[in-house]
Amino acid sequence: MRALVITGPGSAEVQDVPVPVPGPGQVVVDVRRAGICGTDAELFTGQLAYFAQGKSTFPVRPGHEWCGVVSAAGAGVDPCWLGARVMGDTMLGCGRCARCRAGRWHVCADRREVGIMGWAGALAEKVLVPAASLHRLPGGIDDRRGALVEPGGNAWRAAAAAAAGPERRILVCGPGTIGLLTAAFARAAGAEVHVLAIDGGRRQLAERFGASRYWTAGEPPLLSYDAVIDCTDDHRMPAAALGLVEPAGRVVCIGISGTPSLVDSRELVLGDVTAVGILGASAGLAPAIEHYADGRVDPAPLACVTVGLDRAADALAGRLGTGPGTKIHIDPGLGRPPGRALASRRAGPWPAAGRAWRWTKAAKMTGGQVMTLRRARALISPACSGGKYPACLYTSTLVQMPARSSSGWNWVA
């Protein structure tokens, strides 16, 4: 089968690897969709702290945000799992220690982490996992949303740690995937949610995920908050959060910086502030699925770009844009190499969601380059800004699609 392998810092390729065979208590899942997140990017660059700690080594097969269909089961696995649509926990504890017995397998000293530490990941056609790690997906959760359950579990835990609820004002720092999902879960719990970002680029998306106010580095918040949730990788943010939280409030850290964060513990103590760290989605997976299934939180607008395995290395290296969302998804079933997704200005209305269209007009690109597309087909995602943007572009000829165009696009049936 085909799988993405990170062979060393900055180097990744699709390789043919053995098809997994389930052992006792294990299943094989045919991967329908897998997401790429910041942890995968750190694996690709070699900057993930686990490398320095000796917990991760190259080569690595990444992919821990995924969903799929169970296609094989080992001895001792209930046959009802066969054919089930599922996603799985990233954290795989030993199952024997006191932490695992207490339900804290995500901090088991001997744990493995799917696609990160000691266990092959889901950026592949198939993934092998313990049956005990599976969560069944209801019919109302499609593959796009299914592959967003794992980040949703992290975000739900962050919102819960902030004690989000009515009459509480929450500040979420960082409008990335985790930050926006955290905002959505906090709003679903009844809290007033504000978002702090570097710039205004994701203002509309943040509003869509429940933010009533959107602050930037140039226009910082002038209020104090019952809880501040740090979803950034900025080492200065934990200290800044202490200056924004109410006395007896809560600071929740789920983002991780590449360098140590320095916090004045006097502010923590004298402000009677509770500080909480969040590692892993385990306890939040079931609540995330429930929120997605009943519509309280819809994660779909985050993943507007879907490509095949052949473009996964480009996605890891940052050579593909996320369109109007925050995340790139990989569909191992896509057989043809897609071009870059579009987020360009449009001359007229885009075609309806789910329709295949043919592109025939030459387009003048920024920088004076001219390119002609022939027999190109695009699949329009209904989750992306009302279907304005193509989620994937397939072409019968090798072309490089731009992120922006200086002219409009002309679509014809």
Beta-sheet pairing, 274-277 with 245-253: parallel
Question: How far from 47 is each of 38, 119, 197, CA to CA, in Å?
Answer: 11, 19, 24
pLDDT digits (tens, 9 = 90+) for 308-347: 999 999 999 999 999 999 999 999 999 644 443 323 223 3
What's the pLDDT at 258? Answer: 83
pLDDT digits (tens, 9 = 90+) for 202-223: 999 999 999 999 999 999 999 9
What's the pLDDT at 377? Answer: 36
C-alpha 322/C-alpha 305 separation (Å) is 6
343 burial via Cβ count (<10 Å: 0-12, 13-18, 19+) = buried
Beta-sheet pairing, 169-173 with 225-230: parallel
Regarding predicted confidence, which is higher, 405 or 168? 168
What's the pLDDT at 50? Answer: 93
What's the pLDDT at 383? Answer: 38
C-alpha 294/C-alpha 292 separation (Å) is 6
With a pLDDT cut of 90, the percent of the chain lying above it is 80
In the structure encoding, which two tokens stand for residue 300, read together? 């779909």
Do 258 and 202 form a contact (C-beta atoms < 8 A)? no
Count Cβ neighbours within 10 Å for each residue of 227-251 and write b for 16 or more, e otherwise. Answer: bbbbbbebeebbebbbebbbeebbb
Domain 2-148, architecture per CATH: Alpha-Beta Complex (3.90)
What's the pLDDT at 178? Answer: 98
Do 116 and 39 form a contact (C-beta atoms < 8 A)? yes
pLDDT digits (tens, 9 = 90+) for 237-251: 999 999 999 999 999
Q: What are phi and psi of 297, to 5 degrees?
A: -135, 130
What's the pLDDT at 306? Answer: 97
Q: Which helix (H) or strand (E) holds 92?
A: strand 91-92
Q: Which helix (H) or strand (E) holds 312?
A: helix 312-316
With a pLDDT cut of 70, the percent of the chain lying above it is 81
**309 Cα distance to chain centroid:** 17
Q: What is the 3-state secondary structure (H, E, C) of 157-175?
A: HHHHHCCCCCCCEEEEECC
Do 319 and 10 form a contact (C-beta atoms < 8 A)? no
At 228, is the pLDDT very low, low, confident or very high (cuts 50, 70, 90)?
very high
pLDDT of 6 > 90? The answer is yes
Q: Which residues contact 199 (CB under 8 A, 6 or more apart)?
A: 216, 217, 218
Do 17 and 124 form a contact (C-beta atoms < 8 A)? yes
What's the pLDDT at 186? Answer: 98
Hunting for tokens 């140039």 — which residue is that? 218
pLDDT digits (tens, 9 = 90+) for 102-154: 999 999 999 999 999 999 999 999 999 999 999 999 999 999 999 999 999 99
At 197, is the pLDDT very low, low, confident or very high (cuts 50, 70, 90)?
very high
Q: How many CB atoms lie within 10 A of CB 9?
A: 12
Strands (E) located in 178-281: 192-197, 213-216, 225-230, 245-253, 274-277
What's the pLDDT at 335? Answer: 65
pLDDT of 368 > 60? The answer is no
Q: What is the mean pLDDT of residues 52-77?
A: 97
Domain 161-277, architecture per CATH: 3-Layer(aba) Sandwich (3.40)
Q: Hey, where are the domains in the chain?
A: 2-148, 161-277, 338-413
Q: What is the mean pLDDT of residues 184-191?
A: 98
Quote the mean pLDDT of the chain. 85
Q: Which amino acid is at 270?
A: L
Q: What is the mean pLDDT of residues 63-74?
A: 98
Do 350 and 387 form a contact (C-beta atoms < 8 A)? yes
Q: How many CB atoms lie within 10 A of CB 347?
A: 12
Q: What is the mean pLDDT of residues 4-19?
A: 97
